[in-house]
Structure 1
């Protein structure tokens, strides 16, 4: 079976040729438009038609996966792991000794925590409103947790970083409130 990737990079632009495909802005989607049987044109979510039973995609949006792999595990590769680890390692450029705060500890946030851990971050602060998610974040590499329902996360992060704030902040929630907190 295959996993659908929401971006099929071009491989030809400046970013791709420099080995940084996560910055590619010439990504490909299927050339043929998806339509209903009556001809009504559809707009596939993320270019792949998420949650659809059938979809049209560009070949580069497909990654072949061994059928023996559990679908629950393989499904994470399509978005959560790629987005989270990519945010930490590629976009955030987390390095050894950095302090990192991750706001939101779902699939993407936990992958960002794992990415920061793999990159050698010294302090990884997980922020969420759910203590169960914060507990899981510790198993992914978080060194500190902040329940933002009970504590101001900005103040807590400043306190945990000697008043400086984190070197890298990853917002894995995407709400205006968390975006502002990240900055």
Structure 2
């Protein structure tokens, strides 16, 4: 039976978001309906709203979510009604060339629910990142549901669904940060601070936070930054080198994704060091760099997709670390809000006033 619930959509490019009635069908084969308890407000949702990702309006926004499985479709065995889950946007297929080679975090055939949620007039909705969680209940592929310990509050757990996982994974999974390493993180929003937290978690010795905003640098210290560099207060590359005995950092993570920040990451690393790009670039931006510099400095130049995470492996472990007091996920939550407050949350995000606003439902 179709359910009528309240949810937030973006109806047209850069139009104010709307709280409206959403129709959610019963789950079909391989699908699940999840009662959303909390969902973070992510920059990706804002990108959908302003037309930075596509033009498949109307979008059902929201994707950093946790909640309770309400019902499942035929043949679903991995989750069942009552399970407490974090939603992920990379449900692995298990059969593509990446999965068959034992690298499911690179799955090239991730999937979403087959059926569509709609407006009351039958207009099909495009769920953000295949999830659409600014809504009381959402329809997803069952593989997008990852069971975790229900002791973790949904306001915290849901953040692993996107930005926080992207940052932690950029440090641990993609950058392979190890005990005693030096790390620099350029851009200290939610993703950058998560990378800092990840580097601290695995025992990095020196963790340098770089940003244009002193307030964000102060936040970065709470997640484990040992040093800070304020952009504009001297050359960023020279500052990173000064803090690493003149050599540069073993791993530099670009959480901004601009040509100039990537170059800072490239030249701010040690010889044979690693650059990790996790900030999402504008498709119109290009990078020009001497090829001899790429050859001469060696090392690894990497891009991080969703922190190269495998939700079934990483989410439960990170939640356990939070419950043990070793990973401060709660510090990412700047405020909790209602569905009716999302437009205001986008404004706060735009001005850098919050790390994460989290919608509670």
TM-score range relative to shorter protein: 0.7 to 0.9
Larger Rg: 2
> Secondary structure of 2:217's partner?
helix
Structure 1 residue 42 and structure 2 residue 141: aligned? no
Query: Contact 1:22–1:90 at 8 Å: present in 2 too?
Result: no
Instruction: Supply the distance in 2 between the matched residues of 1:167 and 1:134 (Cα, whole angstroms).
Output: 21
Q: TM-score, normalised by structure 2?
A: 0.45
Deviation at 1:149, TM superposition (A): 4.1
Q: TM-score, normalised by structure 1?
A: 0.81
Q: 1:131 to 1:6 in 2, by over 3 A?
A: same
User: C-alpha offsets along residues 4-48 of structure 1, whole Å, 9 cap, x if unaligned?
Assistant: 212112234454456543322221211223433334333222121
1:99 to 174, 182, 194: 182
Structure 1 residue 76 and structure 2 residue 162: aligned? no
2:265 alignment partner in structure 1: 182
Query: Contact 1:81–1:108 at 8 Å: present in 2 too?
Result: yes
Instruction: Supply the distance in 2 between the matched residues of 1:176 and 1:51 (Cα, whole angstroms).
Output: 33
Alignment of 1:104-123 (within 5 A): 104-123=187-206
Which structure shows the higher helix fraction?
Answer: 1
1:171 to 231, 249, 254: 254
Alignment coverage as a number of residue pairs: 183
2:237 alignment partner in structure 1: 154
> Secondary structure of 2:126's partner?
coil
Gaps of 5+ in 1: none
Deviation at 1:139, TM superposition (A): 2.7
Structure 1 residue 131 and structure 2 residue 211: aligned? no
> Secondary structure of 1:82's partner?
helix
Deviation at 1:102, TM superposition (A): 0.9
Deviation at 1:56, TM superposition (A): 2.6
Q: 1:12 to 1:95 in 2, by over 3 A?
A: farther
Deviation at 1:145, TM superposition (A): 0.8
Query: Contact 2:196–2:207 at 8 Å: present in 1 too?
Result: yes
Instruction: Supply the distance in 1 between the matched residues of 2:200 and 2:183 (Cα, whole angstroms).
Output: 9
Deviation at 1:146, TM superposition (A): 0.8
Gaps of 5+ in 2: 1-66, 68-84, 267-361
Structure 1 residue 56 and structure 2 residue 139: aligned? yes
> Secondary structure of 2:208's partner?
strand
